[in-house]
Structure 1
Amino acid sequence: MNFKRTVTGFLSVAVLTVSLGTAQAAMIPRDVDLAKPLLPIKQNVGASGIDDAQIKAAYGSFTGTVKAVEDFEAIKGAKIVAVESQTGGPANFIIKEDTYIVDNFDLNVGVEVTGFYDANAPMIMIYPPQYNVEVLAEQELGQFVKVDLFDQNLVSSDNQLKLNISEKTEVVTKDGKPYPGTLADKKLAVVYDVTTRSIPAQTNPIKVIVLDAEVKAEIGDVAKMEIVVDEQKLAAPKAYLNETKTIMVPLRDIAEALGFPVSWNNDTQSIIIGNGISLKIGDKNYIYYKTAPIKLDTAPELKEGTTYVPLNFFTEVMKMNKAEVSNDKISIENEVI
């Protein structure tokens, strides 16, 4: 089975993937300061196959060998992949159409892979554990993948990796298009080979994939589009494009259609969704229960008495499975796994 990098177009601490050989990684010099010793970053994998360092991670990972690949009937187009860690710990990966497949490799039995998943998303209590994988990477000799939130200085949330972007670094969105925007405060999947021996380690990445690039569209398109939530058309205010050409959609109508009550907290001057999601007009920081604030490129906007949020709010903050523009409509879905 061959997955595309992304089909529909969609990880503060994350983990570093398993090192497959120090000597081989150091043999691939790039534009790193060679005055400092180079080494690949290694992952401390416990008996379960999960990185011991991801206790506070926003994105976790599991590394194992593929044992079986089958259709996952609960979600259209999805696969369920049985994997087993080096110590025999089993897990199941849910690979959906919007899962980003690094380097578009063939997902076959016997391949060693790392699945990165949102550690803050709700998970069912089941054995073996089941992960909704957002990024899937093959373990390759001399190449490593890190998925994390990177700050203004392009340092990962766990202070383990700093990115030095060079002219040779390929920076793209999930659909493979060049990304011209800033990488600061973005969720990134980073492909790299060697690093400096420092804290944080520094690297000139081979490739950077921006996972939370906001959906853009041509002016005039979205105002004519229907808004569809879980395959039901909404009689809601029309979407629009703000000054940065970000698609803005009506919050209350969509949230209530998804089953979330929306209310106003006068004490905090916040809009409350459900029991733990909140936001403020003009503030790019969104609150998801007791986790660290999630910063998006665009703040909520008030227009003609209606609160609008960027379309990716529903995937990045509310953890919906899909929020996208396709076939001249805006679709938001919350498929239960």
Structure 2
Amino acid sequence: MKKKTFITATLTAMLAVSSPLYAGATLTQIALPISQPSTENTEQQQISISHIYETKAEALAINIDGEQIISLLVKELGNYESEILFKVFEDTIFVDNEQGIPANPREISEGDIIYIYGSSAMTRSLPPQSNTFVVLTNLDKKSPARFIEAKEVTIDDKGNAFVIDAAGNYNIHIEDETPIIPYKTRQFVHISDIVNDSRILVWSEIMALSHPAMVPANKVMLLPDKSEAQEVLTDSIIISTKAGVFSINGQEVHPLTGETMFKNDDGVLMVPVRSIAESFGFDVEWKQESLSVSLFRGAQTGTLTIDSKSYGKQKMLVHLDTAPLIVNNRTHVPVDFLREVLNVDVTINDSEV
């Protein structure tokens, strides 16, 4: 009898802390926006204590109003397979789970597998409706990042952080060397920016069988503060391909001597890295021995190597489809380098004016 009791307790503990990617929908108590489904999609969600409903699901339909997605109809995977209509707001977070970067919600297609953190407060309609806090896309390889609101944050004398979530389910261990990245902002973030009430996404492949569960973080994304979720500052550039000039944060910039912009054989727009990066306030260092470039702006860094499709961003590697190359003794990079490595909002203007 004691043996059966021990086995039952062990299985219960394992199920309680298993990854939500495989466990189906789960509930987590946490302080997050909105407690009741809303019919308004143009305003921020209000802040209240609520239960989080998280689920891995297939996108069945995407409802778009103008340029904005206003709802996602999904079918849950796993044990439930029910349909839910999740309402999307301006402050809903969209993240590419594989790359750990902001995702474009307009790129979600019917049939895509996504992971949603939403409110457990649902309507009694068919299908039930709920509000969406975070949507993770590109779930092919990694387990979904955990959506955490920090209740208690402590930092030890080695600079490592320990974060207890609002529900007391997780103890997140963030080492000083763990990559900490922002969401859609040009501000560099550090482990010390994670404080009580911070909202973070945590990537981890290991979780200890304990309560609270010990979770060593592989990577962390610091999300906008709840009260200022709409105030996102982003570097921006308008590339006028016909005129051959850039507008960087509203200021017109001309390429340096020898720099140009062109499309390679694959149709990828290549742009000069030095004049653009320096205009954004980066120091640019060329290293002849390794044919590489290092960029520094405060604590924000980026690196690239000629003919390599792997780029450095803080303490991470970012893989792009196109490698940098040298033209007229100047280094040129694919325009995606600006988006994915330097976190720049890019607009391309192909008109004559």
| Superposition TM-score, scaled by structure 2 size | 0.41
Larger RCO: 1 or 2 (CA < 8 Å, sep 6+): 1
Higher strand share: 2
Higher helix share: 2
| Superposition TM-score, scaled by structure 1 size | 0.43
